[in-house]
Amino acid sequence: MKYFVLMLAIMAMLAGCSSHKDAFAYGTFSADATYPASEVNGRITYIKGQGEKVAAGDIIALLDTTDVQLQIKEAEETIKLKRLAAGSRDSEIAVLEQEKANLEIDKERFEKLRAAEATAEKNLDDILAALRVMDLRIRQAGEARKISRQEIQLTEVKMEQLKALKAKHFLRAPVSGTILEKYNSAGEMAVAGKPYCKLADLTRMTAKVYVSETQLPLLKLGEMVLLTIDGSDGSLTIQGAEISHIAAEAEFTPKIIQTRDERVKLVYEVQVECPNDGMIKIGMPVEMYLPDQLHGK
C-alpha cells in the first residue's frame, strides 16, 4: 500500500521531468549474491545455464554418482548376506533347543530308573554332562546371532551414510534466484568448498546511494523514497523504494561520483530496496529523491 500511494504522487508530480540536478543522492543497483559450493568432489554431468531462474531446493547441477551408487549396492548385498547368516543362527538355536528338550526327557527317565536302581549312575551323569554342553552351545549360538544382528545394524548405518553422500551429489539452490554466472561446465570437476555458480534474487534489488553528513538526519530506516532510472529514450522510469540500511560510519565518496571535488568528501552509504519486474539490472545508475522534494518542500 505504501508503494502504491507513493507511486501515485510520484507519477503526478514528476510527469515530464527530465532534469536530474535536484536528486537527493546518486548510486547504482546491486543484488545480494549467493555463491553455492559443492560439499564433495565430483565430475559434473549436468548444470543449468546462466540466466536460468531457480527456486530454493531446485537442482542446479548433478555430479557423477556411479562410485557411491556401487558402494550402496554393495552395502545392500552385504545386509542380505548378514540377514541370511542371522537366520541360520535362529535355525541352529531352534535345533539345539529341541535337542536340549530331548535330553531333559532322557534326564527325567534316567532319574526315575536310577531311583529304582534300574540303571547305572554313570548313565545319569552322562545325560547331565550332555545338558551342560548343550547349554554352552545354545549360549554360543545366541552370541553369534547377536553379533550378526549388530553387523546388520552397522551396515545399515553405513548405507544411510552412503545415501547421504549420494544426496550431496545433487547440487541444490540454497535460495531462490537467477543464475548470474556459472564457474563450471558439464564434464568438469566440481571441487568441494569451491563455488560452482553465482546466484542472486533479482525480484528485489538494492540501490546503494551516498549522502553527506548534512543529508543524513533527513533519512530514516523504513522511509519510502523515490528512485529514478534513465529510460532508453531519455525519459525517466520511476520506482518507489524503502530505506533498508544507513551506514553508521562515513567513507570516502566512491569513484562513481565523477566530480573531483565531490570525490574527496566523506559520505554515508544508504541502501534502499525496491521490487524489480525485470527492468532493473545490476550496476544500473540510479538517483534518489525524498517525498518532500516532490511536494516542493
Structural domain count of the chain: 3
The residues, ordered by sequence, that sit 6+ positions from 54 with a Cβ below 8 Å of its Cβ are 48, 60, 173, 176, 177, 178, 179, 199
Q: Do 47 and 180 share a structural domain?
A: yes
The cell for 245 is 540500511
Q: pLDDT value at position 17?
A: 47
For residues 105-132, one letter each, b for 16 or more C-beta atoms within 10 angstroms of the residue's C-beta and e for the rest, the string is ebeeebeeeeeeeeeeeeebeebeebbe
Low-confidence residues in the chain, pLDDT < 50: 3-5, 8, 13, 15-20, 297
120 and 186 inside one domain:
no
Is 224 found in the same domain as 158? no
Q: Same domain, yes or no, for 46 and 185?
A: yes
Q: Are 17 and 289 in contact (CB under 8 A)?
A: no
Task: For residues 84 and 161, state if they share a domain.
Answer: yes
Q: Please give the pLDDT value at position 259.
A: 54
- Identify whether residues 149 and 231 lie together within a single domain: no
Q: Would you list the DSSP string of 73-127?
A: HHHHHHHHHHHHHHHHHHHHHHHHHHHHHHHHHHHHHHHHHHHTT-S-HHHHHHH
Q: Tens digits of per-residue pLDDT, 119-142?
A: 677 777 778 888 888 888 888 888
Q: What count of residues does the chain have? A: 297
Whether residue 2 is contained in a domain is answered as: no
Can you give the CATH number for the domain in which 187 is found? Answer: 2.40.50.100
Residues 267 and 134 in one domain: no
256 and 186 assigned to the same domain: no
Query: What confidence score (pLDDT) does residue 172 get?
Result: 97
What confidence score (pLDDT) does residue 10 get?
A: 53
Please tell me the distance from the alpha carbon of residue 156 to that of residue 128, in angstroms, as a whole number. 42
The residue segments making up the domain with residue 104 are 66-167
- Give tens-digit pLDDT for 61-118: 999 999 999 999 999 999 988 888 887 787 788 888 888 888 888 778 777 777 777 6
Q: Are 74 and 112 in a shared domain?
A: yes
Which cell goes with 25?
543522492
Residue 8 lies in a domain: no
Based on the fold, state whether residues 52 and 94 are members of the same structural domain: no
In a domain, 10, yes or no: no
Q: What pTM, to 2 d.p., does this model score?
A: 0.68
Shared domain for 138 and 266, answered yes or no, is no
The 3-state DSSP class for residue 72 equals helix
